[in-house]
Amino acid sequence: MADTLIQGLMPGRGAEFGDTIFESFDTLGVVEDENLLTLNLGPQHPSTHGVFRMVMQLQGETVIAATPVMGYLHRSSEKLGEARTYNHGTVLTDRMDYLSPITTNWAYALSIERLTGLVVPERAEYLRVITGELSRIQSHLVAVGTFGMDVGTYGTPLLYALREREAVLDLLSLPTGVRMNPSYIRYGGVARDAPPEFFPQLERFLRIFPSKIDEYEAVLAGNEVFRNRTVGVGMIPPEVARAYSVTGPILRASGIEYDVRRAEPYSIYDRFDWDVPVHYNGDCFDRYMVRLEEMRQSTRILQQALESIPEGDIRAKMGKVLRPPKGEAYARIEGPKGEIGFYLISDGTVNPYRYNCRPPSFVNLTCLAQIAVGHKLADAVVILGSFDIVMGEVDR
């Protein structure tokens, strides 16, 4: 076994200092061939959505092999989580999916609640759903806007999407107090109650927003160039999506109706009336359409939550320091990118014994190399854009 591994890449051995292995292609399994062009896409490239690198071999303009390389943003969140208390661990989850931190907070809080048996008050559950769905809208807006950039629309859809994202961020900053990294959902409830002016503002937003979604659809989905670039590009057949553990909008664009909010309802999602949008071609265009549909469904959920939110506590009764009983728990939620899971082990002390996150972008990337092969280089960029990855989450 050991001799099949490249010596320098064995963990625990360590390469010699000065061996800049990142620069040499042979360790990435790239074969030198004078007929092929080896191209580094990234790590610093606007289309890679962060510090992500793809080593691609091209014949003419066709991709014949692709190797994803990651880890440039690794901050050892999981090791840090083991050295901090349960409360401090929430802050680390903000930095994973920085486009929708509240959903990652939620997965972490849910895992602790499963570990300790804390019961969350009703009003806190509603506030979680409201802020969680607003974060999903916010994340999908960035996904849709930057996807337009990848296809080559020169900024218009991005600016349209960011305009609404600003409105969502302003709304979110009322209960959370900040625009980014809110650490809003904590174990046992939420950090703060929403101020009274939040609800009329949310209502006004929900009145305007559906027409804005129609606007994105009119700008991009009706555009002939956009359709030519995305329809039939980067097809993921349902059996491939199943085999590669794909989740989120990518899975639902491949015709599999699977949403953790439906499959294993957490919080109060079973009380609302909403649909799981499914498209059947599995190409980049369908992934884009599923995201638009999901924003419409989020609006529906928000409308219902806004009408029925009760008064009451926002935090469960608990001590200042949390010492969960010995045990372990895995809790999962449906984030904007897919299934976010948290696996925690408690040994009865104030620190988690094991703090492990299932990042949806990381697992979704597994099938990227297989999907990109056979496409033109420009299409590979479109496929990566349609995956909607966040490097903070991939590298943790």
Partner 1 sequence: MQRVLDAIPDSSWQWRHGYAEIKVPSARILDAARSLKDAGFDYLSFITEVDWQDRLELVYHLFAYDYRSQPLGVILRADLPRVDLPQVASVTPVWPGAEFLEREAFEMMGISFLGHPDLRRILLPDDFVGFPMRRDFETDFEYITVKQLVHESD
In the complex, which residues of this chain contact partner 1 (CB under 8 A)?
Answer: 1-2, 5-6, 8-19, 21-22, 27, 29, 70-71, 74, 76, 78-79, 114, 242-246, 256, 258, 262-264, 328-330, 332, 339, 341, 343, 345, 354, 356, 358, 362-363, 365-367, 395-396
Name the residue nearer to partner 1 (CB basis): 279 or 332: 332
Name the residue nearer to partner 1 (CB basis): 159 or 243: 243
Give least dist CB 328 to partner 1, A. Answer: 8
Strands 53-59 and 327-334: unpaired
Give least dist CB 246 to partner 1, A. Answer: 7
Strand partners, 96: none
In contact, 86 and 188? CB cutoff 8 Å: no
In contact, 232 and 238? CB cutoff 8 Å: no
Give least dist CB 242 to partner 1, A. Answer: 6
Give least dist CB 356 to partner 1, A. Answer: 5
Give least dist CB 214 to partner 1, A. Answer: 31
- Written as one string, the DSSP assignment of 186-227 is ETTEESSPPPTTHHHHHHHHHHHHHHHHHHHIIIIIT-HHHH
Question: Nearest Cα to 357, choosing from 343, 377, 345, 374?
Answer: 343
Kindly state the DSSP code that residue 95 receives in the 8-state scheme: T
**Can you tell me the distance from the alpha carbon of 262 to that of 392, in angstroms, rounded to the nearest whole number?**
27
Give least dist CB 77 to partner 1, A. Answer: 11
Name the residue nearer to partner 1 (CB basis): 16 or 307: 16
Question: Nearest Cα to 302, choosing from 173, 180, 132?
Answer: 132
Name the residue nearer to partner 1 (CB basis): 12 or 196: 12
Name the residue nearer to partner 1 (CB basis): 229 or 396: 396
